[in-house]
Structure 1
Amino acid sequence: MEASLIERLERAVQRLEALGVEPSLASASAGVTNVQECKAKPSESSLLTEWDRLLAEQLAPVKALSQHIPHEAQKSMESFESAFRATRRVLEISLLAKKPESPAELQSLLAPVSKAMGAVTEAAEGRRSCQNHLKVLAEAVGALGFLACGPGTGMSSPRQHVLDCWQSAEFFANKLLMEFRGKDEDQVAWVRGVKALVQHHLEQYVLRNCPTGLRFNPDGVTLAEAVSDGAAATSAPSAQAQAPAPAAPKPACQRPGAPPPPPPGPPPKPLSADELGLETVEAGGGGGGGMSAIFKELSAGEGITRKLRHVTAVMKSKHNPDRTGCVPAAPTAPTATALKKGQPSGSPSLELKGTKWVVENFNGRQDLLVENATPKQSVYVYGCTDCVVQIQGKVNAISLDNCKRCGLVFKDVIASVEAVNCSSVQLQTTGTVPTITVDKTDGAQLYLSQACATNPNFQIVSAKSSSINVIVVPAENDPSDPQEQPIPEQYLSTFKGGKLVTVAAEHSGA
């Protein structure tokens, strides 16, 4: 049966070669064996081949140019690269696994990508010496969120998500171009490289391979099995190095005529007592120092405490009148600075308290739903990260407070919708709302209906915020494209006729 299986796999390789598809797909770094790669259909192999080409031809030159940017931005660039390489692993598993049965499974699959993206985002928080470099990377890496986009998520299409993220990053990219054009062409080339990577090549990749979201294999294995197979393949070399094994058979997907893999190297030399930091026992057995002396004392049993000094009442600290050397006790409750950034400070909760719906402390939930809301009720969303909240029904007001990378979808609001102390949020209305307020927020995408755009009384109030874009979504039967306009955040003030006149500053990018 084994010979028959090998013969079938070799015939599959020959068909792949006839189609011009490389079976190996350079998967050594991802830890996937050739047998696993042969499970993917020939048409699906291009998914990974094209991603490898994007990493080699677009990401690698940007990484090489990053040696010319500030050191702090170079460290953030490493996390940026890690997020792209972790995405390859997700794409690889999607070819082998069925669609996850729950959002929690999908979240676990995307966890390595989210962790790397979070490191880039955290590096851009606060005031830094190279703020614009860090902001470009933080906004651009959000484009990898296309992995979580798709029908039923309440988010925009994967391609539109990539474009939206770059539009947020382009504001800071234009600042860098204006600062370094004609002064430091290496940094200008780095900015343009990041732009080409995300706006052009990543957008085209998503359009060709993931137009409706991450694709899975309907005939594949479960997600847990696909992940464990990859983990086993990664640990296989170390397992082989522990014990010598007989000559391995020819791999199932190895090309005819290709040389066999090299044999495993010799096992590591055992560490000596000196390398372990231990003292050797003297020849003759007894009376040695070091570890032997320690074990000798431990074997004394209860008598080991006879050498300890007795602590009298006078020696106790409570009887010492001098308190200058005492260290105050630490508070039992953790302070706000002790809590890790981006982590919820309490337990997740979605409940109706009186006339207010409270949604708080969720992380990575794309299915949060407020149902049967009434016009007398309001909605308060607090401390959520990487979540999507949908509100059904007409409500009085909506508040989004201290949230990161969250989406909010609602219909009709009587009073107002506000986002405060947030970053990278999306607000979308399919009905009407009189006022949207954005305060102390970095990165906000406001998706408005035609009803809002044609209402002369509708208004957007913004303060202490940056990177706010307004997208007017066409009606359901309207074939026109969405219209996007940025809200100015930089102004020029001049005196004209003794009066101070302020206008919005205009920027032009490369």
Structure 2
Amino acid sequence: MSGVAGLPHSGINNLTTLLRRLEATVSRLEDVALTHASAGGFPSGANAVQGAAIPAPSAPNASAAVAPPPPPKEEEKASPAVKGYQELIDGPLATYESLSKELGGLIAEQAEHVAKAFHAQKDFVQLASACTKLPTSSPQYPTVIGPTQSALLAAIDMREKNRASKESNQLTVVAEGLPALGWVTLDEKPGPFVGEHRDSAMFWVNRVIKEYKESNPKQVEWARSFAALLEELRKYIMQCHTTGLVWNPKGADPTTYKSGSSGDSSAGAPPPPPPALLLPHLLPLLPPALNQGEGITKGLKKVDKSEMTHKNPELRGSSAVPSTLGGKAPQKAPKPGSMQKKPPKKELDGNKWNIVRTFSQTSQGTLLTSASQENFENDRAIVVDQTEINQTVNVFNVKSSIIQVKGKVNAISLVNCPKTSILLDSTVSSLSVSNSPSFTVQILGRVPTVLLDGNDGGQVYLSRDSLDCEIVTAKCSAINVSIPEEGEEEGVFVEKPVPEQFKTVVRDGKLHTVVMEHSA
């Protein structure tokens, strides 16, 4: 018998069974909707019905068939060394960048390269914290160090191309200090290495402060901000990389490493510029075998086939190769000995260091500088190191150059050195400057006596340890002595002029001389 509305009373098609199947279907649709919503939304309208895959009724638990979305990938956890470097970027580097943008012009343009160099080095530090050590001899090393090197070279090139600019001193501040980023290549004493470049930069920082302390305080603040950046870099290194850049002995392979966080991958770094473009004080950024570029074969002579022993067996029995110079045109006669320009000389003769720029053919001694180096004129990288306390340093006929004497020596003497600057640590006896107009001296340690004779224009920067020194002048004019300002931070000086005028009277048959002009 048929039931109500033609529906049977029993069997799979009865009303109760259909309602149960409908409820199960609705429940599964709700599960699917919830799953899609948690994964980022669910399409609406007709598309929602068409896009929903309804499982077969026979599935006991259809909602379990939909896999949950994978959890988001966690970013690579930064090491303390990387965090410390990021604090350096967010703090002193950001201050320097901000002041550079305010000053604008070449200063701001150079600051962009400085920022790129620091950010690139942060990536290099991150690579080291995550990977085993990459030898400098590795073919991949120039690639990973390349971004730092490129930015560093660009910043220094700003100084080289704009020496006639009114902002030359500011550009030189950065050019002298930024090579401190080469610390990552050192296996020992990276902190002192940065300290040396900071001291070199301070020489020019003081010049900027002297020039703008009254007219433009923003320039003074900018100069101090860069010095502070190098000092904070040194402190960071002494805290995190005391004996050299710390690599991860249990880390990944540096040649295939890719950082987990965006923007910090070192694997995609662009290749460095040709190594031949490196300046002498940037050589630590590349290993010795790589830093010569095409110049590595520059000194080799092309051998004629007639001189090749493997093609001429008869030459093997003798040690001499036949000369082929006979057919060449006669050479021009050399200039007289007194006029011929010779390479500079920096030698240790007994216990005396001699630094000489000479035009004579009679110079003797061992040449310690490269023969291809410029004469000691416009040379900003003359360094005398490995000194001893019983040695003296004698500088003759050097022009428009910068000399750095490291360590404590017995005495230092400059003679006939116009527009020459010297940065020194300490002496046992004295520092003497004679016939050297427009000289500059900066003392980092202690010097008991400063002797100045026949100088027209000069600047002496004293350290706090040298405030008790005696300054003796004779036949000098326009001499200024800068002393650290009491209560101020390091690098802040007060300039005092040395008296030039005297009054002499006769009393009781004797001459009595008094100073007519006093320093403030």
> What TM-score does the superposition give when structure 2 sets the normalisation length?
0.47
Q: Which has the higher contact order (CA 8 A, sep 6+)?
A: 1
Structure index of larger Rg? 2
> What TM-score does the superposition give when structure 1 sets the normalisation length?
0.48
